[in-house]
Chain A
Amino acid sequence: MEKILLKNADVPNINDVDVYIAHGGYKSLDKIFQMGPAAVLEEVKRSGLRGRGGAWFPAGMKWQFCVEVNKFPKYLIANADEGEPATFKDRPFLEKDPHQLIEGMIVSAYAIGASKGYIYLRGEYPTGYKVLNAAIDQAYKKNLLGNNIKGTDFSFDLAVHRGAGAYICGEASALIESLEGKRGQFRVRPPYMATHGAFGMPTVVNNVETLVNVSHIINGGADWWSSIGSKDSPGPKVFGISGHLQKPGLYELPMGVTLRELIYEHGGGIKDGKELKAVIPGGVSTAMLTPEHLDIKMDVKSLQTAGSAIGSGATTVMSEDACVVHMVWRAMAFFYHESCGRCTPCREGTDWMVKILARIENGEGRMEDLKILEDVCHTIHNNCFCPLGEGAVNPVLSGLKYFRADFEEHIRTRGCPKGLRARARH
């Protein structure tokens, strides 16, 4: 597939507005000002664009809810928190090709009727902070941002809000709390963000990659755009593949590519010619799969049917050298560290589970521990306000489902067959 989203990522100085324009950038603005906001919204709806941040909600529908609310100003927020472990797909748009995101945001804001925008950027990307701020300054100077953009009556202000290291702040409502200067914790809905979002105003939060696609939908048309990828979830997608691969990295491919193609064609196969043991298809919060699942398509429905989820499309591969118990422990250490502490099942459950998993890995586990792990998972499930705990449950339950024998072996032989240990963590 010819690259669309990453086409210019390696063009020297593409972060400079003039270079970006020379490569066809900001072209979509002329088109939208002729179309009018309603037609832009219609085009995005027709494209079938679904949000690429993890939940895959139809973008046009989310915008429509916000358009219908008669309250101003409206906010558009790009979610650049990129916190899901093993996810690194948004980074090129934050550090290399920032104008593509800004252009996508202008077009989206126009369709939504938003006059204020923020890019909520994770604190771990200091380069992105500088690059985005510089690009925004340039865009203001060219009247691509600010009042009366390109002489029209559309105005849009944009700024970067820098996070400081908290996974939960990537969840849309926690993100808004954080934007408002509070601790990023989940907001119970309703009220929905379409009516009461940032500063109590109608708000749309979209993932960076979702917004980046929008100007391409306008430029090429919804029909062209949705001819790429699968019917269920159309369009191009940046897949980040990591772990035991010959060629890990970012690959822009159509939605619906199979796990096999992703791993063996693009990733070059398993590192050092080893056998595949397990694969996490969509970030640590998604259920692990096995070599039996290789022909599953990377789209929303197929992965759901397989008992997992596409998540952020961050695929992590484990070869026969990996210890699944160790990886599940490490995943849980992450969730324990990142639980905001508000809901007891998540706060205490992740604490219990990380301790139990550590003792299994370190040869001190008991067979009853497997039952306790399952019980804790079922206690978290459906009993917390936000989906963070649900994410914590997935590695454990899928690990126990497909690799129970590995857990049992650790317990029986009193240790990790690969000689690994779970370290105490702070």
Chain B
Amino acid sequence: MVTLSENTLQEIEKAASKYVDRKSALMAALWAAQAEFGQLSPDVIRAVAEVIGVSNAHAQGLATYHSLYWKKPVGKYVIMLCTNIACTLMGAETLLEHLEKKLGIHEGGTTPDGRFTLQEVECIGSCGNAPAMVINETFYYDLTAEKIDGILEGLK
């Protein structure tokens, strides 16, 4: 059994107050729970479903529909590298391979020390400064392999 913190519950109620139907706050509730637990395990989703008042099946269905809800544990830093068309044209695929080699993991994986998760993502709206990536909530633009090395160095 997972219990949501007072803080998360408050945030969920605040979100719910913005809609005529509290079911609308399910997405915000999943965001809040993810912020607290770092991921949305089936137990966390079940706890959220109960607070919102929807079936567990509904909440699981919604969580798995969206790519930004993590359904399994992720590293301290989640590297989201865009490989959509503008970024691919500007060399993102080479950077993906560079990151895989550097971190010793495949796309979708997490380093054994739990520091980095590497994810290939669709367009992140930074196409004028491609290739681009997001690490947690910070955007990095006009990437090269050297630039990426420097960025990761700075995170250690």
Contact = CB atoms under 8 A, between A and B. Distances in A.
B89 A179 contact: no
Interface stretch (A85-93, A144-152, A384-392): A85-93
B84 A124 contact: no
Which of the listed residues B23, B88, B137 has the most CB atoms from chain A within 10 Å of its own CB?
B88
B86 A162 contact: no
A164 B68 CA distance: 5
A249 B18 CA distance: 36
Interface stretch (A31-39, A239-247, A404-412): A239-247
B56 interface: no
Which of the listed residues A87, A164, A166, A284 has the most CB atoms from chain B within 10 Å of its own CB?
A164
B145 interface: no
B67 interface: yes
Interface string B27-40: 11011000000000
B136 to A, nearest CB: 9
A337 interface: yes
B122 interface: yes
A87 B130 CA distance: 12
A202 interface: no
Nearest to B108: A426
A250 B128 contact: yes
B134 interface: yes
A161 B24 contact: yes
B90 interface: yes
Given A123-B66, A184-B65, A85 B120 contact: no
Contacts of B25: 181
A96 B139 CA distance: 15
A287 interface: no
Interface string B3-22: 00000000000000010110
A334 B122 contact: yes
Given A181-B54, A243-B85, A124 B90 contact: no
Interface of B: 18, 20-21, 23-28, 30-31, 52, 54, 58, 61-62, 65-69, 83-86, 88-90, 93, 96, 107-108, 120-130, 134, 137
9 contacts: A88-B125, A123-B31, A162-B28, A162-B31, A164-B66, A182-B23, A248-B127, A326-B88, A327-B88
